[in-house]
A and B are shown apart, each in its own frame.
Chain A
Amino acid sequence: MSGVSTAAYFARRAAQKERVRILYRRALKDTLNWAVHRHIFYRDACDLREKFNANQDVEDVDRIDKLIAHGEAEYDKWRHPDPYIVPWAPGGSKFCRNPTPPAEIEILYNYGHEDNP
């Protein structure tokens, strides 16, 4: 590579850093999904962090792209089939369970007396 630091180079590096952060976040959540118990999770999280730290000094932009693609393929391979999702979030158990009723509806509490005005 020519090593010229143009704005496009920095933009590409910033986009790669964001991809790495999002990949690390998803991989960490996946690790927690697979390893439910905290002591196992901490061990696996340390291993994951080591894997990310081993490549952190790479400067070649194309190699970084390949490493990120490889990481994302690994993440896709290891995705949990039933991840833990917070109940009120989409995909959780409480999502859309009690939606707020529309404001125009008024309930008449006259059970048994509907025929009387």
Chain B
Amino acid sequence: MALRTAVLRHLRVPVTGSNQSQIGFLGSIRAFSSHDDHLSKQEVVDRVLDVVKCFPKVDPAKVTPDVHFQKDLGLDSLDTVEIVMAIEEEFKLEIPDKEADKIDSCPLAIEYVFNHPMSS
């Protein structure tokens, strides 16, 4: 018995991977993770539209999920920047400058927020 423990202390027995095929997919789900809220598309749409409607230079009646900020709502490019910042604050995101420059319309914003893994 003592010989066995002494031998095992110096040997390294390889771990058998027989159970790994079962948890291949489940490996992406962690139990008790603090990051467990992924928003539904309808919720994202509702919140983005609320943010856009609360903007003082926007007429709330014209806001639909597929408006373009500059063409349909008549906003300036600086107003677009302000709206993107408001969306960032609403969903607690950090959008890089290059990506934020490309967000020009509601459908783009909704798609970006929905596909971002850390939006909450």
Inter-subunit contact A89/B94 (CB<8 Å): yes
| Contact A86/B93 with A22-B101, A115-B5 known, Cβ cut-off 8 Å | yes
Docked Cα-Cα span, A100 to B34, in Å, equals: 12
Does A24 make an interface contact (CB < 8 A)? yes
B1-40 residues at the A interface, CB under 8 angstroms = 4-5, 8, 15, 17, 19-20, 27, 30, 34
Assuming the A-B contacts A28-B82, A86-B92, A86-B94, are A115 and B77 also in contact, with contact meaning beta carbons closer than 8 angstroms in the complex? Answer: no
The answer to whether B15 touches A25, judged by C-beta atoms less than 8 angstroms apart, is no
B100 interface residue per 8 A CB criterion: yes
Count CB-based A-B contacts (< 8 Å).
47
What is the interface size of chain A, counting residues whose CB is below 8 A from a CB of the partner?
A: 24
Q: Label chain B's interface by main secondary structure.
A: helix
- Distance (whole angstroms) from the CB of B48 to the closest CB of chain A: 18
Contacts of A22 in B (CB 8 A): 97, 101
Separation in Å of the B98 CB from the closest CB of chain A?
Answer: 8
Report the contact-size class of chain B (Cβ under 8 Å from the partner). 20 to 34
Interface of A is mostly: helix
A106 contacts the other chain (Cβ, under 8 Å)? yes
In the complex, the answer to whether B17 meets A24 with C-beta atoms within 8 Å is: no
A70 in the interface (beta carbon within 8 A): no
Question: Are A106 and B8 touching (Cβ within 8 A)?
Answer: no
Contact B81 A25, beta carbon cutoff 8 Å: yes
Verify B78–A106 contact, CB threshold 8 A: no
Which of A21, A26, A53, A92 lies at the interface centre, i.e. has the most chain B CB atoms within 10 A of its CB? A21
User: Shortest beta-carbon distance, B108 to chain A, in Å?
Assistant: 15
The answer to whether B8 touches A21, judged by C-beta atoms less than 8 angstroms apart, is no
What 18 additional pairs, Cβ within 8 angstroms, besides A88-B94, A98-B34?
Answer: A18-B101, A20-B77, A20-B78, A21-B77, A21-B78, A21-B81, A22-B101, A24-B78, A28-B81, A28-B82, A28-B85, A49-B78, A85-B94, A86-B93, A86-B118, A92-B94, A103-B27, A106-B19
- 3 tightest CB-CB pairs across the interface, nearest first? A89-B94, A86-B94, A22-B97
